[in-house]
Structure 1
């Protein structure tokens, strides 16, 4: 569980944590990021919040989702859409 800044939306703070892990190389391209349920457990957020985080990261081109498999880190420069 994380300590969140009360004046900032939690979903944005979770996005920043995952972005940091992606940019630092902790999460490598083509490797899974935590599932929604893993985010619920690790970050203490609702599943809808976890979905919002994944959707935002996907919109930013940082991750892509393969249905029934999971969400993976994109290669740098990967185009979305």
Structure 2
């Protein structure tokens, strides 16, 4: 029989999971996650990790990789289009 977790315990667990999944995004930074992700993707694109003319990973895969909501990834993609990166 499991004991319900407190809200504080759940937040700590989620933070640990977050840090384990991604070292590039910081949910406590005050900068929106979609902008942080857009910066990471732009950096990867400029470094050649995401080669020109090749598709970047699907938004669902990025959401899973970074432990963020799918809609946050979609907003990042919109930001990258506005920047002219994709």
2:57 is the alignment partner of 1:52 = no
Specify which of 36, 40, 45 is matched with residue 22 of structure 1.
45
Using structure 2 for the length normalisation, give the TM-score.
0.67
Match of 1:34, SS?
Answer: coil
For structure 2, which runs of at least 5 residues remain unmatched after alignment? 1-20
For structure 1, which runs of at least 5 residues remain unmatched after alignment? 64-81
Using structure 1 for the length normalisation, give the TM-score.
0.70
Structure with a larger share of its residues in helix: 2
Q: State the aligned residue count.
A: 63
Cα distance between partner residues in 2 of 1:19 and 1:12: 10
Segments ≥4 residues shifted beyond 2 Å: none
